[in-house]
Amino acid sequence: MKHLLIIFFAGFSACTSPASKPGLPVKGSPISETAINQSITTLKQSTGISDPGRLEKGVKHIASLWRTEDGTEQIFMDFCKKNFIADESERVLFFEKVSKNLESLLGYFNKITLDLKENIDLNNGPVLNIDKEFSGYSVGNHMLNDLYANKIAFMIALNFPYYSLEEKSKFSPSFSRKAWAMARLGDVFISRVPAELDQSASKSVSDADLYISEYNIEMEKLLTETGKTLFPENMSLLTHWNLRDEIKANYGNKESGIEKQEMIFKVMERIINQDIPAKVINNPNLKWAPFSNKVFENDKEIQCSSEPDSRYQQMLNNFNAEKAIDTYSPDLNTFIARKFSGEMEIPLQEVEALFDTYLRSPQLAKTGATIEKRLGRGLRPYDIWYDGFKTRSAIPQEELNGKTTARYPNPKSFEADMPRILKKLGWSKEKADYFSARITVDPARGSGHAWGASMKGEKAHLRTRISESGMDYKGYNIAVHEFGHNVEQTISLYDVDYYLLNGVPNTAFTEALAFVFQSRDLFLLDIQNSKPDQERLNTLDTAWSLMEIMGVGMVDMKIWKWLYAHPESSASELKSAVQMITKEIWNTYFAPVFGIKDQLILGIYSHMISNPLYLAAYSYGQIIEFQLEDHLVGKNFATEIERIYQQGKLTPQRWMEGAVGTKISVQPILNKLDKALN
């Protein structure tokens, strides 16, 4: 599940990504090189300048942020002379005051944003147009303009200039925690984007999220070609999450499991191709035969037009909103660069190379052959979600649903059970109560997500989808995942020594802990493992799941590379491109494993619409999860999780070395997969 992060300061440190285009014009500063050099020279002649490198970096950086409305070159030079802090003790005091104020600003804006999105995110009644408008309103974006206008932003950037990803990677292992926090303060003001462009980008993502959150398929209305229904009444499944999970749930169904899976697979193809009849989306009043694509009202066939490429228009809207920001971000001048070299702090080329190495590994074809033997049939494309290695696959879905619905009839019952869950994982009663008191559970309108607090004193939110009959097993599995996010969010805010280090290096690291929690869902239900070789099966499951999520991550990245190469494309042209890209990725990596070519299923993921370029974080999350699980063997789970996540927002590789003693790598899982296969 996605982990929503609200970032009001678009400060992501990085060198320019090779995916960006340095030749693009930058809408920037009127400050000349002469004025910059004169300011540096004047300050160097002052007494007490102990770090000329920091001085030069700071002056040059605020020059790149300066605009005509900020004042003349003389005003710029006077500002530098007056506001550069040479005395280190005064600079430390400045840092402490800024940290305190940023926590207040970011914390309250995060709370306001939660409030404004409540009627969209939570299942608390009908959605009105006014709800949509408030949800898309980025309440904090004008604050950035204010901080530039009153020169606070320049004061901070002058004395705490940002360090590129390359520079941070060279920081000494002896670099102090305070020095790391000060470097993160340098990440706050990197680019200066007009508020209306930030607002447009925020609204585009919000609109896309709403589009996805209302994209339900009424399963009891689906018909076979003989007019038979396969699914129970009142089963409304959200694309793609719930559709995927229903495929997973039917591996243990010997009677109609394959027939159900094939029907869901056809529904997914209709969505990707956009030949799904528009009227059947989120509509319980019509029956639909997905294979023939016929629609029936009162048992009479009616004519329905297809969805008008809305899925791909949402992608285009996101692209156009982000592209408008590019020229205001000289160091990260594409959305691709901002997401990878910036937010993720792992360059795109490094991500692609890691994924390519894993997806080409011969062990995956051997794993596929193992699955074929277990299924007693050839692989089908939807078997990318094969779920049979898990303990729960041997337990009837009805039995699991019975346990979860009885235990969790509503969101508050899950919230009340959180202390027990944490104690079962190894936390003391005191610590379990401490974390639980800082997390609240809400009824989600969509599939669910976790939303952390941004200041001490506020709670993290676990949003989960629960029907009137209670939390089914699929919902419980997701809720445990989101609870893992919430625990990370609480540790990395409340228990980190400097506010500017709160959080994790990127979202992959919070996904890792969410996966660690999710893998213990049956244990938390007091269901004992009945498979003696479960460790081997867990390795096979992790390896297969990683292949699937890396594949869709590759599709997501290639779509955005195509968009930048074809910026004037239409929704129809983008649809054709996505179909081409999904087939290309499938044929390169999956066809050798499945023995089937030209499949589109990798294009179904909703993240590509509502949370673009996020999917790669899941792959890294699974890799990190595997390394964490390997490290946790024989250790106190609770103690180690707290120690590891108290590191806060270091660079990814430095964090990983501190956590488990090695860098991020797929080799450990491939080594263990070899043993599992043999």
pLDDT (tens digit per residue) in 32-61: 999 999 999 999 988 677 788 899 999 999
Quick check: 542 pLDDT over 60? yes
Are 541 and 629 within 8 A, CB to CB? no
Strands 216-218, 3-4: pairing kind: unpaired
The CATH number of domain 396-524, selected from 3.90.550, 3.40.390, 3.40.50, 3.40.30: 3.40.390
Q: Quick one: CA dihedral 313, 202, 132, 466, positive or negative? A: positive
C-alpha distances in angstroms, 20 versus 317, 336, 407? 20, 7, 51
Bigger pLDDT: 560 or 16? Answer: 560
Residue 595: CB atoms within 10 A of its CB come to 12
Residue 136 confidence (pLDDT): 82
The 3-class secondary structure across 548-614, one letter per residue, is: HHHHHHHHHHHHHHHHHHCCCCCHHHHHHHHHHHHHHHHHHHHHHHHCCCCCCHHHCCCHHHHCCCC
Contact partners, residue 46, CB within 8 Å, separation at least 6: 81, 86
Quick check: 10 pLDDT over 70? no
Quick check: 409 pLDDT over 90? yes
The per-residue pLDDT for range 357-389, each reduced to its tens digit, is 999 999 999 999 999 999 999 999 999 999 988
Strand (E) or helix (H) holding 430:
helix 429-436
Quick check: 75 pLDDT over 80? yes
Distance CA 104, CA 417 (A): 31
Buried b (16+ CB within 10 A) or exposed e, 351-370: bbebbeebbebebbebbbeb
Residue 329 confidence (pLDDT): 79
Q: Mean of the per-residue pLDDT values for the chain?
A: 91
Residue with tokens 């990440």: 187
Quick check: 327 pLDDT over 90? no
Distance CA 382, CA 376 (A): 15
Quick check: 392 pLDDT over 70? no
pTM for the whole thing?
0.79
- For the range 615-618, what are the long-range contacts, defined as Cβ-Cβ under 8 Å and sequence gap of 24 or more? 615/549, 615/552, 615/553, 615/556, 616/340, 616/344, 616/351, 616/355, 616/508, 616/553, 616/556, 616/557, 617/344, 617/506, 617/507, 617/508, 617/511, 618/508, 618/511, 618/549, 618/553
User: Can you read off the two tokens belonging to residue 475?
Assistant: 């919902």
Residue 198 confidence (pLDDT): 86
Return the domain boundaries, the chain. 29-191, 195-395+531-613, 396-524
Residue with tokens 């006014």: 130
Q: What is the DSSP letter of 664?
A: -
Strands 294-297, 300-302: pairing kind: antiparallel
Are 86 and 49 within 8 A, CB to CB? yes
pLDDT bin (cut points 50, 70, 90) of residue 530 is low
Strand (E) or helix (H) holding 378:
none
Give the residue-averaged pLDDT of 15-38.
61
Distance CA 608, CA 206 (A): 13
Residue 531 confidence (pLDDT): 66
Side by side, which strands form the sheet with 300-302? 287-289, 294-297, 300-302
Residue with tokens 């809408």: 27
Residue 529 confidence (pLDDT): 67
Distance CA 239, CA 271 (A): 9
The per-residue pLDDT for range 238-262, each reduced to its tens digit, is 999 999 999 999 998 989 999 999 9
The per-residue pLDDT for range 183-219, each reduced to its tens digit, is 999 999 988 888 789 889 989 999 999 999 999 999 9
Bigger pLDDT: 277 or 46? Answer: 277
C-alpha distances in angstroms, 48 versus 36, 42, 52, 78? 20, 13, 10, 18
